[in-house]
Amino acid sequence: MNEPTPVYPLVVAVDGPAGSGKSSVSKEVARRLGYGFLDTGAAYRALAWHAEACGVDTDDAASVISCVSSFEYRIGTDPAGYAVQVGDVDVTTAIRDPDITAVVSRVARVPEVRTHLIELFRSIIADERRPGIVVEGRDITTVVAPDAPVRILLTASEAVRIARRSAELVDTAPEHTGEQLRRRDEADAKVVDFMTAAEGVTTVDSTELDFEQTVDAVIGVIRAAQHEVVR
C-alpha cells in the first residue's frame, strides 16, 4: 500500500497571553523535534521599533501605516538562535525594551499592519525547509494558520504569568510588570481572542506545570495529532 505523501512543513500553531510560555516552550519544542520556530510577536515589536525610529506617533494609525512600506523585516527560524533585522540593523535585543513593549499593542491593532504581517508570516512558513515549524503568537490558530494540523492554546493563570515575567525583569518592580502585562493583554484581546480556545484547538494550561512538563505536554499534543493523521 502506498504511504500518504507528507505535506511539509507540518505547522504547529501556538497562541496565548503574555508570559504563558509561548516563546520559550515553542522554541524548545522546535529544537527537540528538529522543527523551525517563528516568533510572530517579534515582527509586531520590530514594526513598533521601526515606527519609533521613523519618529511617527504610534497612537496615530495613519502614521503607523505610512511606515509599513519602508519596513524591511527579516527573521530566522532556527530555534537555536535567530536574529531579528530591520534593514541593516540587528534589533533582536532592542525590541524587548520595555519602551517597545509599552507601545507594541498600538501598532498591532492597526488592520493594515496585521494584513501585511500575516502575509509575511505565511510566506516564511511556506519557505521553511525543516519538516515542521512551530509558530507562536496571538492569532496563529485562528487567522494565520487556521488549517494547521496542530493548534494549541498555551495558558497559565494571570498570577503565574506575572510572576514568570517579573522573574525575567529583575530591574522592574513586580507591580509595574503586572500592571503592564494586564494592560497589554486587555488591549490585545480587543483585537483577537487568545484567551479562549477556538474549535479544534487544544488547551495546555501550564499553571501547575514546570517548564519541562509544559514542553512534554506540547510534544504530547503534537504526537497525538500525528497519530490521528497516520491512523
Ligand X SMILES: Nc1ccn([C@@H]2O[C@H](COP(=O)(O)OP(=O)(O)O)[C@@H](O)[C@H]2O)c(=O)n1
Ligand Y SMILES: Nc1ncnc2c1ncn2[C@@H]1O[C@H](COP(=O)(O)OP(=O)(O)O)[C@@H](O)[C@H]1O
* Torsion of the alpha carbons at 26, 27, 33 and 35, rounded to the nearest 10: 100
State the Cα–Cα distance between residues 216 and 25, nearest whole angstrom.
9
Residue 105's binding partner among ligand X, ligand Y, none (Cβ under 5 to 8 angstroms by kind) is ligand X
Is 214 an interacting residue with respect to ligand Y (CB under 6 A)? yes
Question: Binding residue per annotation — 26?
Answer: no
Residue 40's binding partner among ligand X, ligand Y, none (Cβ under 5 to 8 angstroms by kind) is ligand X
Instruction: Identify the burial level of 150 via C-beta atoms within 10 angstroms of its C-beta, where 0-12 means exposed, 13-18 middle and 19 or more buried.
Output: buried
> Beta strands 10-15 and 132-137: pairing type?
parallel
Question: Binding residue per annotation — 18?
Answer: yes
Nearest to ligand X of 50, 184 (CB atom): 184
Residue 128's binding partner among ligand Y, ligand X, none (Cβ under 5 to 8 angstroms by kind) is none
Give me the 99-138 binding string for ligand Y, x by CB under 6 A, dash otherwise. ----------------------------------------
Question: Binding residue per annotation — 16?
Answer: yes
Residues ≥6 apart with Cβ < 8 Å to 110: 61, 64, 65
Nearest to ligand Y of 115, 213 (CB atom): 213
Q: Three cell numbers at 154?
A: 498555551
Nearest to ligand Y of 67, 166 (CB atom): 166
What is the full DSSP assignment across 65-84?
A: HHHHTT--EEE---TT---E
Annotated binding residues for ATP, written as ranges, equal 16-24
